[in-house]
A and B are shown apart, each in its own frame.
Chain A
Amino acid sequence: MWVEGNEVLTNALEIGGRSFQSRLMVGTGKYADNPTMVQAIEASGAQIVTVAVRRVNLDRSQDENILHHLSPDKFFLLANTAGCYNADEAVRYARLAREAGFNEFVKLEVIGDQKTLMPDVVGLVEATKVLVTEGFQVMAYTNDDVVTALRLEDAGCAAVMPLASPIGSGLGLLNPYNIRTIKHRLSLPIIVDAGVGTASDACVTMEQGVDGILMNTAIAAASNPVAMAGAMKLAVEAGRLAFMSGPMPRKEVAKPSSPTKGMLDQT
């Protein structure tokens, strides 16, 4: 992108047989108003945009329906099963989402604990198996445990989405080692979902070698969501570019960058 002939950033992200240019995916929740949400999403450069499935509020459906604000021709709508606490419920929401008629992808969430919003990994694997049989492309939101990630791969997920830290916490990447381990062990795309707080978190996360990041609160809850969306776009690109560039090895010793020879008065 910035370097002539550099194909590092133009190499596409492939998920479930589809190809995407942007490695940043964004949510549509928690914005103060819809125009800000639309501007922030545009500034993020994201193509994949998550949405939730909820009852129509019979009094104000126009305002709430995301399709009145975001064009499904312009963005790839990724429905989630947020708020579901068991496999059956998540499967029900996924089926309803698919019936909306946009695509066969689902961001599968099965939450196990109301306080921490940590995933119920048993229910997650169970729901994945059902949905894969029904032809869904499942992108599974999970914790940063490699064994669960492997089970999800075996179950037929299209992508595995381990968390950086709890949903909406903004604590950033708490365990880079776990994320790297998942990336090394699986052959599926790994999209870090949840926990990123600011641009440096996004950059460090991409530097672990993951394929992308999904975030919502970090942008929506910033004082200036549109500007933060721009920062996140740059951070994801910078992190990806740095990872692909092969960073120097870390050493716990100093090594001068300038020549040690040629100093004055040397003999």
Chain B
Amino acid sequence: MESHKLQINVTVNGQARSSQAGQSLDVLLRELQLDSRMVVVEHNGVIVRRPDLVETRLDEGDNVELVHFVGGG
């Protein structure tokens, strides 16, 4: 249980970020004030489907990419 309070280093959209070990992607999105219906999450190169955001947890060195639709041709 102690391990859940450990600080870990993760990368979110190329930026270093400190997070708690075991934090779910769902909570990360909320911290970033992002609506999970508006973004798509890639966790260590693997797409995480929306229903799985709650169960997918962060670990030391994880890489998260958050994408959305922007203007384009």
How near does chain B come to A228, taking the closest CB pair, in angstroms?
Answer: 15
Query: Which DSSP category, helix, strand, loop or mixed, fits chain A's interface?
Result: mixed
Measured CA separation A216–B70 after assembly (Å): 14
Measured CA separation A217–B73 after assembly (Å): 8
Instruction: Bits for B36-69, please: 1 = Cβ < 8 Å to A, else 0.
Output: 0011101000010110000000000000011111
Q: Which residue of A lies closest to B47 (CB)?
A: A99
Q: Contact at B73–A54, with CB atoms within 8 Å?
A: no
Measured CA separation A56–B64 after assembly (Å): 11
Q: Contact at A99–B34, with CB atoms within 8 Å?
A: no
Q: A55-B13, A58-B12, A58-B15 are in contact. Are A99 and B69 (CB under 8 A)?
A: no
Measured CA separation A194–B49 after assembly (Å): 33
Count of chain A residues with a beta carbon within 8 Å of a chain B beta carbon: 37
Chain B hits for A215, CB < 8 A: 73
A1 at the interface (CB under 8 A from B): no
Q: Contact at A29–B69, with CB atoms within 8 Å?
A: no
How near does chain B come to A200, taking the closest CB pair, in angstroms?
Answer: 20
How near does chain B come to A72, taking the closest CB pair, in angstroms?
Answer: 9
A64 at the interface (CB under 8 A from B): yes
How near does chain B come to A48, taking the closest CB pair, in angstroms?
Answer: 12
Q: Contact at A167–B71, with CB atoms within 8 Å?
A: no
Which residues of A come within 8 Å of B, CB atoms? 27-31, 37, 50-56, 58, 61, 64-68, 77, 79-80, 82, 95-97, 99-101, 167-168, 194, 214-217
* Cβ contacts A to B, 27 pairs, < 8 Å: A28-B70, A51-B69, A51-B70, A52-B71, A52-B72, A52-B73, A53-B40, A55-B66, A55-B67, A56-B32, A56-B34, A58-B13, A61-B33, A61-B38, A61-B39, A65-B70, A66-B70, A66-B71, A67-B38, A79-B69, A80-B72, A96-B40, A97-B40, A99-B40, A99-B49, A194-B73, A216-B72
Across the A-B interface, give the 3 residue pairs with the lowest CB-CB distance, nearest first. A52-B72, A27-B73, A216-B73
